[in-house]
Structure 1
Amino acid sequence: MTKKILTCFVASLSISFASCTSSSDPNYAWLMSLVAGATAVEAPSGPTDFGIDINDETAPVDFVFDTTRTITVNVQVIDPVAPVNGSMVQVTVPSATPGATSNKSVFKAYTNPSGEVTGSFTIDGDTKTVHLAVEAYGKFYEADISIVNVSKVDRRISIGFTATTTQIIDTDGDGVQDFEDVFPNDPTRVSSIRVPAEDYYTTSYEDLFPKQGDADFNDYVIRSYFEEDLNKFGEVVRVRGYFTHVAKGAGYNHTLRFGLPGASVTSYSLLRYAADGTTLEENLSGTPTSISDLEILGNSSTTISKSNASKTDTVFVKGKTAKLEVILSAPISKLVLGPAPYDTFIRVINTGKDIHAAGKYFDAEGKDIYRDATGFPWVLLVPGNFQWPYEATDIRNSYPTFKTWYESLGTTNTDWFRTPNTSEVFPATP
């Protein structure tokens, strides 16, 4: 028999929540059941009405030649009687694949016992809109958000409904229903986010640091993507990275290195593969308490068979690949961990110099170590199949709107990397 319960519910996206104070409240048993494990308990459902209070922020962000954007999320879900523990908040972006209709998740978390969700998500720099969905007792508030100038999504949503009942099952007792839980038998993990949501990042390095390079950004090039396993509250508990060497337009040799600043680590495992996919090295593992300088790929003279940067040889051949998994000893907020690719850097064997992305390391006077005297970086990260310049070809000639983009501090021509001068870039294929 279905039992009807009359409930007035208000949910907010912001920073704090009220507390659940009454065990007679019909939501109380349902909320407690989420902690109780596999016990089936009836959950409120029914028609809903939503109201919204928008407090999004547009604070300026330091420009460090970013082609991605990281946006903060502050979410508060509150009922006049009790906080909403376990309410899902998800942000998605439309699929870039032609003909695809599904959205790709870039953020997912469930409100904590105080009703809060905080975190961040990373998107391509030219993404204009994201989709927000908030679930409360089986019903959804959904909205498209223009994020062209948004640095923080901060919203208050009110919901009022007359509830009926349904059943929920939560096998591992983590507060997330089994059908929503990617890991229904693991209470430490509930979801997995791919970064970027589709395809991969192309990261291109100049290797003459601290001297200025020739700005062709093909000395060492990798493709990479990452997966973050998250707990109920959107905190990172595992990280996986996938790295492929795709160009070496330099005489110097290099190794690819990796760090997870601020994260406490239980263990890592690493596998390396030849260009044809056969396994070269497996069961590479360790149990450090942190990772700041892990070698992902070895000497670049052995990890790719050709430069993939020459105008006289334009056949694209991929190099070796590595797959890394890091298990953290304590969950870490995405706001603390920072966005992928975290600290993926190269070490130049010939000079002994490490080359990191801009915006990560500063000297005693506060100067960015990895930007030259003109403010130019030694590293560029670009979403998707970036076609890097030919050897000795300045990127400002290969990409006509690149100069306009960085001179505007990233406010115009945010899609510069999608419009190359095709005669001046290597025709790398996906």
Structure 2
Amino acid sequence: MTKKILVCFFASLSLSFVSCASSSDPNYAWLMSLVAGATPVEAPSGPTDFGIDINDETTPVDFVFDTTRTITVNVQVIDPVAPVNGSMVQVTVPSATPGAASSKSVFKAYTNTSGEVTGSFTIDGDTKTVHLTVEAYGKFYEADITIVTVSKVDRRITVGFTASTTQIFDTDGDGVQDFEDVFPNDPTRVSTIRIPAEDYYTTSYEDLFPKQGDADFNDYVVRSYFEEDLNKAGEVVRVRGYFTHVAKGAGYNHTLRFGLPGASVTSYSLLRYAADGTTLEENLSGTPTTISDLELLGNSSTTIAKSNASRTDTTFVKGKTAKLEVILSSPISKLALGPAPYDTFVRVINTGKDIHAANKYFDAEGQDIYRDSTGFPWVLLVPGNFQWPYEATDIRNSYPKFKSWYESLGTTDTDWFRTPNVSDVFPSTP
């Protein structure tokens, strides 16, 4: 009795290497479907079990009046033979918007040749659960993670078998299949993460630095959201930001400014829009090697028509908007770049002082420059449609849970910003 043996191989710039030993091999049928020009069938794979080693960490982090939390990620995927290169690792959060997709991605990357993914993601401070998905050979490990006290997601995932490649089309050769690649013709980019995953941040500034203010946090208020284009490793290669001036409850005037500490830059482009959406300035661009002090919006006496902080005039009117895109000259890890809104700050024209968020700048003794003697900041960032206090109304009166939140160092009343005294806050609308 003789046995017919067929040995074949196929290699291409857009197809991973595939080998097969006989016509009964499932790789054979898949390969022949490609050669014949037919619609490619799914690459073969087999049943699998995942072994999970969980080393998540709950190390406390310094409290700096954050209403968001940044969680680090370290995931390794291995099979019985070697680390798995190219496994997708994704973290999502449930959507709070009716009719929207059921979940929103906050982290996405693909394992390297060591089978590892490292990075970080940022969530609202009162988010309780995230969902982890890891793909290997077409199979998925999925888990809900209670994130309340977790500071690092650290998991080793062991795949119970070795399978043939599942990569079919990869036009740009970056190691990610076209149907998963948001930028299938750009090898430098694979995915886009929106920050926050829904809505926007509201950043509120007190402008009397270095003096203590009246804690109404309405002197300058801006709404912003961001997009990061990531490469296969989950490193940032482009940043986009959208900024809308929404309140000016101060006599001083300001400019809104922006920095990306630690990032090397190829170029930026900036557009500015009127409150009605018409373009005011376009093709504002530059080719700096770094960005630390870029003016986004000009004198605040010209960027919004009214204060949006008065008890006697409660009609909400938005101000001007700036749209920024920054192309980085080399990828940077999300951990090194830091979380959005990065270094978005205001410069007070009257005093010449800059107002930054806490935990960014320190004096020679290591003291945080932008926290006063009581530990209070000059900047607050809040997810979504934060309704800032009326002029001269202390935020501790406007938001009953605010005091207990910061006195507990952020361990209780993490949703303080969702329950204002409505009579003490400006009725801003989305």
TM-score by length of 1: 0.90
Partner of 1:357: 357
Aligned to 1:30: 30
Q: 1:284 to 1:229 in 2, by over 3 A?
A: same
Instruction: Spell out, residue by residue over 1:21-64, the C-alpha distance to the aligned partner (whole angstroms, 9 max, x if none).
Output: 99999999999999999998974423222221110000010000
1:37–1:169 CA contact under 8 A, matched in 2: no
How far is 1:138 from its partner? 1.0
SS state of the match for residue 251, structure 1?
coil
Matched residue SS, 1:44 = coil
CA contact (8 A) 1:176 1:232 kept: yes
CA distance in 2, matches of 1:331, 1:293: 21
1:84 shift after superposition? 0.8
CA distance change for structure 1 residues 38 and 20 in 2, over 3 Å: closer, same or farther? Answer: closer
Distance in 1, Cα, partners of 2:336 & 2:36? 31
State how far apart, in whole Å, the 2-side matches of 1:4 and 1:42 are: 26
Alpha-carbon distance change, 400 to 254 in structure 1, aligned in 2, over 3 angstroms = same
Deviations 1:92-111 (A, max 9, x none): 00001135452100000001
The answer for the alignment partner of 2:287 in structure 1 is 287
C-alpha displacement of 1:245: 0.1
Offset at 1:11? 26
**Could you give the per-residue CA deviations for residues 149-181 of structure 1, whole angstroms, max 9, x where no partner exists?**
000000122222585786611111000000000
Tell whether the 8 Å contact from 2:6 to 2:23 is kept in structure 1 after alignment.
no
Q: Offset of 1:14 from its aligned partner?
A: 30
For the Cα contact (< 8 Å) 1:6–1:161, is it kept in 2?
no
Once the two structures are superposed, residues 336-374 of structure 1 have per-residue CA deviations (whole angstroms, 9 ceiling, x without a partner) of 000000000000000000000000000000100000011
In the alignment, the residues of structure 2 paired with residue 68 and residue 111 of structure 1 have an alpha-carbon distance, to the nearest angstrom, of 27
* Whole-angstrom CA distance in 2 between matches of 1:223 and 1:310: 19
Q: Distance in 2 between matches of 1:225 and 1:305?
A: 22
> Per the alignment, in what secondary structure is the counterpart of residue 27 of structure 2?
helix
Identity value in percent: 91
Indicate how the Cα distance of structure 1 residues 40 and 171 shifts in structure 2: closer, same or farther if over 3 A, else same.
Answer: farther
Per-residue CA deviation, residues 220-274 of structure 1 (Å, 9 max, x unaligned), is 0000000000000000000000000000000000000000000000000000000
Q: 1:323 to 1:21 in 2, by over 3 A?
A: farther
Check whether the contact 1:194–1:225 (CA below 8 A) recurs between aligned residues: yes
How well do the aligned residues superpose, as a CA RMSD in angstroms? 5.9
Residues of 2 paired with 1:412 and 1:9: CA distance?
61
Q: Is the 8 A contact 2:174 2:232 kept in 1?
A: yes
From the superposition, tell whether residues 416 and 115 of structure 1 become closer, same or farther in structure 2 (CA, over 3 Å): same
Aligned mates of 2:416, 2:427 — CA distance in 1: 17
SS at match of 1:163: coil
Cα drift, residue 114 of structure 1: 1.8
Distance 1:304 1:41 in 2: 57
Deviation (angstroms), 1:17: 22
| Contact 1:269–1:324 (CA under 8 A) maintained in structure 2 | yes
- Indicate the larger mover: 366-375 or 154-163: 154-163
* Residues 1:110 and 1:249: Cα distance change in structure 2 (over 3 Å): same
The number of aligned residues is 430
Secondary structure of 1:406 counterpart: helix
Cα distance in structure 2, aligned partners of 1:53 and 1:10? 37
Bigger Rg, which one: 2
Q: Secondary structure at the match of 2:31?
A: helix
- Would the aligned equivalents of 2:77 and 2:159 in 1 still touch at CA under 8 Å? no
Instruction: Call closer, same or farther: CA 1:117–1:397 in 2, change over 3 Å.
Output: same
Closer, same or farther: CA 101–226 of 1 in aligned 2, 3 Å = closer
In 1, the alpha carbon distance for the partners of 2:94 and 2:2 equals 38
| In structure 2, distance between residues paired with 1:337 and 1:21 | 48
Maintained 8 Å contact 2:223/2:245: yes
Partner of 2:46: 46
Within 2, Cα distance between the matches of 1:99 and 1:299?
39
Counterpart CA distance in 2 for 1:2 and 1:354 is 84
Distance of 2:4 and 2:61 partners within structure 1: 49
Q: Summarize deviations over 1:302-343 as a string: whole Å, max 9, x none.
A: 000000000000000000000000000000000100000000
Partner of 2:339: 339
Q: Secondary structure at the match of 1:76?
A: strand
Partners of 1:398 and 1:151 in 2: CA distance: 30
Work out whether residues 9 and 19 of structure 2, in 8 Å CA contact, stay in contact via their aligned partners in 1.
Answer: no
Matched-pair contact (CA < 8 Å) for 1:8–1:161: no
Contact 2:5 2:21 in 1 (8 A): no
Alpha-carbon distance in structure 2 between the residues aligned to 1:300 and 1:186: 39
SS state at 1:405 partner: helix
1:136 positional shift: 0.5
User: Judging changes above 3 Å, is the alpha-carbon distance between structure 1 residues 195 and 34 closer, same or farther for their aligned structure 2 residues?
Assistant: farther
Cα 1:207/1:46, change in 2 over 3 Å? same
**Matching residue of 2:86:** 86
Instruction: Tell me how far apart the structure 2 counterparts of residues 120 and 84 of structure 1 sit (CA, whole Å).
Output: 21
Query: What is the rounded CA distance, in whole Å, between the counterparts of 1:46 and 1:259 in structure 2?
Result: 49
CA distance in 1, matches of 2:76, 2:60: 24
> How far apart, CA to CA, are the structure 1 residues paired with 2:102 and 2:145?
17
CA spacing shift, 1:8–1:63, aligned 2, 3 Å:
farther
> TM-score normalised to the size of structure 2?
0.90
- Residues 9, 20 of structure 2: 8 Å contact kept: no
In 1, Cα distance between the equivalents of 2:424 and 2:242? 28
Residues 267 and 328, structure 1, Cα contact 8 Å, conserved in 2 = yes
Distance 1:286 1:126 in 2: 39
Q: CA deviation at 1:75?
A: 1.1
Residues 254 and 299, structure 1, Cα contact 8 Å, conserved in 2: yes
Tell me which stretches of 4 or more aligned residues in structure 1 moved more than 6 Å. Answer: 1-42
Deviations 1:97-134 (A, max 9, x none): 13545210000000112211000000000000000000
CA 1:236 to 1:101, structure 2 compared with 1: closer, same or farther past 3 Å?
Answer: closer
Q: Contact 2:10/2:19 (CA < 8 Å) preserved in 1?
A: no
Q: Please tell me whether the aligned partners of residues 19 and 83 of structure 1 are also in contact (alpha carbons under 8 angstroms).
A: no
1:283 CA displacement: 0.1
CA contact (8 A) 1:272 1:281 kept: yes
Aligned partner of residue 173 in structure 1, secondary structure: coil
Query: How far is 1:415 from its partner?
Result: 0.2
* Alpha-carbon contact 1:38-1:170 (below 8 Å) kept: no
> Which stretch has the larger CA shift, 95-104 or 81-90?
95-104
Distance in structure 2 (CA, Å) of the matches to 1:283 and 1:245: 21
